[in-house]
């Protein structure tokens, strides 16, 4: 059976399957089980039907409540919606200035700091994804599908023992799809989100997904023993093994 990593939708340009990645113990991640995406607020009825055909039964929103209010995601009744913000509702800006909300903060907080600053939330998120996999396929998303989504994808692939090079490769392709001026998500976000704290427009660095950014997170995972951190914050070693079992052939 052939598989496609990037799933073509009418109103989401960066919806991707996390299947098919090799693992260090000689297996591969399962296709059609776990997906990553930009925000799903713009999906058409046809798009939602396509998600159903892919087996999606749970969508997990990584955005803050302020983003959710401005740009709500309302899936069909047969698809469960869960929300776990990967960033504090009132995160500190590195330079001490005020920010415009969780989306603004997600652009400036370093990935290791975002992860370490909300370890119970990360543990809860992984528990939700694991439970969702018991009923069907799962998709997780933030606004642009790069930062919080990238952290989540890297964490799960790391727990599945996917090599770092492949995790980095998955990350850096993100802005290639998002950069399409007509179909990419940035134009829609600029129209819907409050960008006053950013001078009224999205910063150019948002449109880059550079390898160094995700390498820093992976270095942090190794240096801090991320499996122990997750175990200590509510996602046990056994739960980590079970998650891998659901996602690796």
At residue 34's C-alpha, the angle toward residues 206 and 116, to 5°, is 55
Residue 178: the pLDDT is 72
Residue 92 DSSP one-character state: P
Residue 104: the pLDDT is 59
**Residue 74 burial class via C-beta count within 10 angstroms: exposed 0-12, middle 13-18, buried 19 and up:** exposed
Q: How many CB atoms lie within 10 A of CB 193?
A: 20
Q: Is 171:150 a contact under the CB 8 Å cutoff? A: yes
Q: How many CB atoms lie within 10 A of CB 36?
A: 24
Residue 220 — very low, low, confident or very high, per pLDDT cuts 50/70/90?
very high
Instruction: Report the distance separating Cα 240 and Cα 33, nearest Å.
Output: 16
Which residues does the annotation mark as catalytic? 142
Residue 128: the pLDDT is 98
What tokens does 127 get? Answer: 């528990």
**Residue 45 burial class via C-beta count within 10 angstroms: exposed 0-12, middle 13-18, buried 19 and up:** exposed
Mean pLDDT of 139-161: 96
Residue 29 φ then ψ, to 5°: -70, 150
Q: Does domain 6-238 have CATH number 3.90.190.10?
A: yes
- What's the mean per-residue pLDDT of the chain? 88
What tokens does 224 get? Answer: 């801090």
Mean pLDDT of 207-212: 83
Residue 198 — very low, low, confident or very high, per pLDDT cuts 50/70/90?
low
Residue 98 — very low, low, confident or very high, per pLDDT cuts 50/70/90?
very low
Residue 172 — very low, low, confident or very high, per pLDDT cuts 50/70/90?
very high
Q: Is 96:65 a contact under the CB 8 Å cutoff? A: no
Is the Cα torsion angle 91, 97, 101, 107 positive or negative in sign?
negative
Residue 61 φ then ψ, to 5°: -95, 120
Q: Is the pLDDT of residue 45 over 60?
A: yes
More confidently predicted of 138 and 64: 138
Q: How many CB atoms lie within 10 A of CB 69?
A: 10
Mean pLDDT of 33-50: 97
Residue 30: the pLDDT is 98
Q: Is the pLDDT of residue 145 over 80?
A: yes
Mean pLDDT of 88-105: 52
Residue 94: the pLDDT is 45
């Amino acid at each position: 059976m052939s598989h496609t990593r990037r799933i073509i939708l009418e109103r989401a340009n960066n919806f991707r399957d996390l299947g098919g990645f090799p693992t260090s113990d000689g297996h591969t991640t399962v296709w059609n089980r776990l997906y990553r995406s930009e925000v799903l607020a713009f999906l058409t009825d046809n798009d939602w039907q396509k998600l159903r055909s892919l087996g999606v039964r749970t969508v997990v929103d990584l955005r803050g409540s302020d983003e959710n209010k401005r740009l709500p995601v309302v899936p069909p009744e047969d698809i469960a919606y869960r929300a776990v913000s990967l960033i504090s509702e009132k995160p500190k800006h590195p330079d001490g200035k005020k920010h415009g909300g969780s989306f603004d903060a997600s652009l400036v907080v370093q990935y290791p700091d975002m992860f370490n600053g909300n370890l119970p939330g990360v543990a809860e998120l992984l528990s939700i994804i694991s439970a969702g996999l018991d009923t069907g396929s799962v998709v997780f998303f933030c606004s642009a599908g790069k930062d919080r989504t990238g952290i989540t994808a890297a964490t799960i692939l790391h727990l599945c023992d996917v090599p770092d090079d492949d995790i980095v490769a998955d990350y850096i392709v993100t802005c290639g799809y998002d950069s399409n001026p007509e179909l990419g998500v940035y134009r829609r976000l600029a129209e819907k989100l409050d960008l006053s704290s950013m001078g009224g427009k999205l910063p150019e660095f948002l449109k880059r997904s550079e390898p160094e950014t995700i390498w820093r997170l992976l270095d942090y995972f190794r240096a801090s023993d991320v499996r122990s951190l997750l175990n200590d914050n509510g996602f046990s070693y056994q739960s980590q093994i079970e998650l891998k079992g659901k996602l690796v052939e």
